[in-house]
Structure 1
Amino acid sequence: MLTTNMTGLASVFSHIEFSGRDRILAAVSGGGDSLALLFLLKRFLDSQGGLCSLTVVTVDHGLRPEAGAEAQAVAAVCRRLAVSHRTMRWQGAKPSTGLAAAAREARQALLAEAASAIGTDIVLTGHTADDQAETLAMRLARGGGLGEAGIAPATLHEGATWFLRPLLGIRRQALRDFLRGQGESWFDDPSNVDPRSERARVRQSLTDEEIVRLTEKASVVAREREVLGERAARLIADGGRLAAPGLIELDADTLHSADADVASYTLRILLAAAGGAVHLPAADRATALLASLWEDGTRSSLSRSVAARVGGSLYFHRERRGLPSIGAPDLTAMQGKLWDGRYRIRRWEPVEGLRIGPDGGAAPLSEIEGESGVPRGLARAARAAQPAVWRKERYLGPADEWGVEMEPVAGPWAHLIPCFDLAPARAVLHLLGGAEIPHPPWARHKAARDFTQ
């Protein structure tokens, strides 16, 4: 149910687990939504006896000359409320295309950096029901799919920082009415009414009835996506294993006996995980590929992955084309970043003349290892796409044997994990030997169903 007035505003934070945290962070731009978040959050924390301290961060993207003055105005409000404030700036050149997406990624990274600096894993943002409806309308115009779940109430950033959106059930007008009642004003970003912006055009076109309909649809699809992910996670846990480095094995009967939607979704997840793809492959292409894998010896590729049927198993590994090779100078900047979308480089001291590149089939056959019964040819094909250390054109060995700490990641969820995708992301990371995903900070939290045992 959407909140369109003050009724219900006081309880929007009651489902968040603040206890056990000394500090939390809120992103406040000075617009009506985020400014209302600040006042509501401060009131809530005060009502709880100062449950934890609040830090506010304003991100200046360097895209509008007035942004600096707006950040100063937010800082003045924070001083009045006795709240700590920090302005963070997006430095460097800005891309000529994809600016909105780049700005969003930069903002998330800066906010996560600020959260880490104050020792918290929580960032609250002011996304509203109107934002949800606008987002869904734009996604529907592009075909919908799983994206019809809309904006997640919580998203895990880089495995460490939870971005929480407690106002997703609140209408924008209700927040502005609240601010007016407090005698507060806010800034209106001119891009919000610029017809060159898709979101601005959608915002101006939606009626109240359409906003209600779209937010309700997002809620329904989000739950459907969560259930589908839970079923896929169970299937991966029951029938999957890492058969050799870079080689995922899944019992074919387990997949083929599942409901069509679950089987297709599971296949998409494993293809993306094996290939390190940013997005899941299209559902129709995955369904067609699944139909082609009934017979022993069949093989196909999709989403940078090779899928093969051998006996009673399906195998997935990264195909050999398009694999990256990174030399020592660039590796300094790669710390904490991804190699091939499959591994995060946690630590390596770059050495002049050495590089990380794919094995490429250089490893001696005697070194190719796999679990019992794994076809040697597939294990070798998978090994060829694994990270290795080279000195110029001389193969030295697997990256992990040369001091490179690389952590497996879960394909499309390498950077961001929406809360409705936690089950499949956990299942994939457990399969690959990746890091454990923390539970979202919900109050009265009940441990999520565990699909790793």
Structure 2
Amino acid sequence: MLTRAHEPLPDPGRLFGDLHLAGRTTVVAAVSGGGDSLALLLLFQAYLARLAAPPALVAVTVDHRLRPGSGAEAEAVARLCAARGIAHRTVAWRARRPASGLQAAARAARHALLAEAAGAAGTDLVLTGHTADDQAETVAMRAGRGGGRGMAGIAPATLYDGRVWFVRPLLGTRRVALRRVLQAHGVAWHDDPSNRDPAFERARLRAALDEPAIAARLTEARQAAAARRGLNRSAAALIDAAAARVAPGLLRVDPAALAGEAETAVHALRLLLAVAGGRDQLADLARTRALAARLAAGPCRATLSRALVVRRREGVFLLREARGLPAVPLGADPVVWDGRYRIARREAEIPPAGGDAATIAALGRVPVPAAAIGDGAPAALARAAMAAEPALWRGGVCLGPTAGRAAVACTPVTGPWVRHLPAFDLGPAAALARLVGAPEPPASPWRGHIEPLA
């Protein structure tokens, strides 16, 4: 239902009251100059004014430099912020534009630039102006692509690169209500012309969605999010109880657990496959169900999502299959190797041998110390798993595994969430981090639950 003129404006206390700000000295608000983000800025400033010791507010505008007027729009935001006593900075996307997938590239650049700006401001919190209308449009787009887990829509918070939370306090607020906030403050806003360009899928859906359709999509999103959280909780409990790392790169799962409640077992298997194979997407649902049936039937061997899965008497084992393992230069900046490890050079310089720079590549077949093999881990599988682990190479010579080397920082990561971790998935992400020895994700910035009040 559209917000009518006599209805009260959105309440900042309701929008931001459950946001955990204690211990945070600064919060970044992403402000493009559009109506949604400008309203976010005004509402959050009003909320901070109610606090006894509020964090500093920094507005950051990303200038994608895709339209001639983008610089002027950023300057308009800067003037508004100066008039309201808000710190502001503009960051520009200066990288070379791709020949295709421009919108996706711009979105990735925006996230990276905002995360960088948050780091410079000394915070891990970036607020964005996504609305209930955006949520309805997103769910409609995902429904057109087959639905699935994506029907939960936009998460109320997403952890970016393991270090910065992108938080969306306005997901329960309609766009028309935010326009009324701007009108009440006498603030003009800019409408991006691409929002009305039928060349873009979101613009077409925005024009097509009427009020009943928006309400239906928002209901779908709430129900799907609740179902996703519930399934994640049960899958995380299964992983904690039934899975173990029994050798470097080798996971063991109790077959009885995978033969249990079908939906939970299949989801847990999809998660384990993604981590073992270093994939950023979960394995195909239909193929995982078929694999689960094979595992329940008895001993077997299969590959899926770059993972080798072996059912033996001792258990179900998962490891990285021996193909497509990358070789990448070792530098001071961290790189995610094979979707399974974040690796960087610790020392300022690792001297080259004969002019050859150091690289990270798979270890290959080497003897595995007995102390590295846990109880019930078949030696042959432990050797195969170890062969796919990262090692330091230089001049065509393997210098040994990266694990434990003083010169190299090597930290496991959980494949599906290396770059983006939706708050929906915090439970299984933490369970898988415990399993592989990765750092556990930080708690959600929403106090007591993972989403703001609707």
TM above 0.5, yes or no, is: yes
CA contact (8 A) 2:367 2:383 kept: no
Q: Equivalent residue of 2:187, what SS?
A: coil
Deviation sequence 1:405-443 (CA, Å, 0-9, x none): 111111111111111100000000010001121111223
- Picking from 102, 105, 110, the partner of 1:102 is 105
Task: Tell me the residue number matched to 1:9.
Answer: 11
Task: Tell me the residue number matched to 2:58.
Answer: 55
Deviation sequence 1:314-337 (CA, Å, 0-9, x none): 111111111100135xx34xx223
How far did 1:347 drift?
A: 3.5
Q: Equivalent residue of 2:49, what SS?
A: helix
**Inter-CA distance 87–419: structure 2 relative to 1 (3 Å threshold):** same
- Give the Cα separation in 2 of the matches to 1:297 and 1:392: 42
Q: Equivalent residue of 1:47, what SS?
A: coil
Task: Tell me the residue number matched to 2:336.
Answer: 338
Deviation sequence 1:207-250 (CA, Å, 0-9, x none): 11111110111111111101100100000000111111011111
Q: What letter matches 1:174 in structure 2?
A: A
CA contact (8 A) 1:426 1:437 kept: yes
How far did 1:297 drift?
A: 3.5
Q: What letter matches 1:338 in structure 2?
A: V
Q: What letter matches 1:429 in structure 2?
A: A
Deviation sequence 1:50-101 (CA, Å, 0-9, x none): 5121000000112112111101000000001100000011122011122212
Q: What letter matches 1:416 in structure 2?
A: H
How far did 1:447 drift?
A: 11
| Overall identity of the aligned pairs, in % | 47
Question: Mapping of 1:61-210 within 5 angstroms?
Answer: 61-210=64-213
- Give the Cα separation in 2 of the matches to 1:264 and 1:224: 15
- Give the Cα separation in 2 of the matches to 1:447 and 1:207: 29
Deviation sequence 1:238-293 (CA, Å, 0-9, x none): 01111110111111111212x11101100000000001101001111100011111
- Give the Cα separation in 1 of the matches to 2:100 and 2:61: 24
Deviation sequence 1:141-182 (CA, Å, 0-9, x none): 010100000000011111111111000001111111221122
**Structure 1: which 5+ residue stretches go unaligned?**
449-453
Deviation sequence 1:361-403 (CA, Å, 0-9, x none): 2x23557831022101111111111101122332221012442
- Give the Cα separation in 1 of the matches to 2:413 and 2:273: 13
Q: What letter matches 1:320 in structure 2?
A: A
- Give the Cα separation in 2 of the matches to 1:447 and 1:18: 15
Q: What letter matches 1:426 in structure 2?
A: A
Q: What letter matches 1:173 in structure 2?
A: V
- Give the Cα separation in 2 of the matches to 1:2 and 1:415: 36
CA contact (8 A) 1:358 1:388 kept: yes
- Picking from 409, 421, 441, the partner of 1:437 is 441
- Give the Cα separation in 1 of the matches to 2:400 and 2:315: 29
Task: Tell me the residue number matched to 2:394.
Answer: 391
TM-score normalised by L of structure 2: 0.93
- Give the Cα separation in 2 of the matches to 1:49 and 1:36: 23
**Inter-CA distance 180–2: structure 2 relative to 1 (3 Å threshold):** closer
- Give the Cα separation in 2 of the matches to 1:47 and 1:56: 19
- Give the Cα separation in 2 of the matches to 1:16 and 1:2: 26
**Inter-CA distance 44–401: structure 2 relative to 1 (3 Å threshold):** closer
Task: Tell me the residue number matched to 1:424.
Answer: 428
- Picking from 291, 301, 304, the partner of 1:302 is 304
How far did 1:350 drift?
A: 4.7
Deviation sequence 1:19-38 (CA, Å, 0-9, x none): 32211110000000000001
How far did 1:6 drift?
A: 3.5
Task: Tell me the residue number matched to 1:408.
Answer: 412
Task: Tell me the residue number matched to 2:29.
Answer: 26
Q: Equivalent residue of 1:293, what SS?
A: helix
- Picking from 283, 295, 304, the partner of 2:285 is 283
TM-align CA RMSD: 1.9
How far did 1:351 drift?
A: 4.2
Question: Mapping of 1:196-345 within 5 angstroms?
Answer: 196-257=199-260, 259-328=261-330, 331-332=331-332, 335-345=333-343
- Give the Cα separation in 2 of the matches to 1:292 and 1:375: 20
- Give the Cα separation in 1 of the matches to 2:17 and 2:227: 25
How far did 1:2 drift?
A: 9.1
**Inter-CA distance 387–251: structure 2 relative to 1 (3 Å threshold):** same
Task: Tell me the residue number matched to 1:451.
Answer: none
**Inter-CA distance 323–100: structure 2 relative to 1 (3 Å threshold):** same
CA contact (8 A) 2:160 2:419 kept: yes
Q: Which moved more, 1:21-30 or 1:109-118?
A: 109-118
Deviation sequence 1:118-144 (CA, Å, 0-9, x none): 111111000000100111111110101
Q: Equivalent residue of 1:25, what SS?
A: strand
- Give the Cα separation in 2 of the matches to 1:199 and 1:251: 44
**Structure 2: which 5+ residue stretches go unaligned?**
none
Q: Which moved more, 1:294-303 or 1:371-380?
A: 294-303
**Inter-CA distance 30–99: structure 2 relative to 1 (3 Å threshold):** same
CA contact (8 A) 2:28 2:123 kept: yes
Q: What letter matches 2:361 in structure 1?
A: G
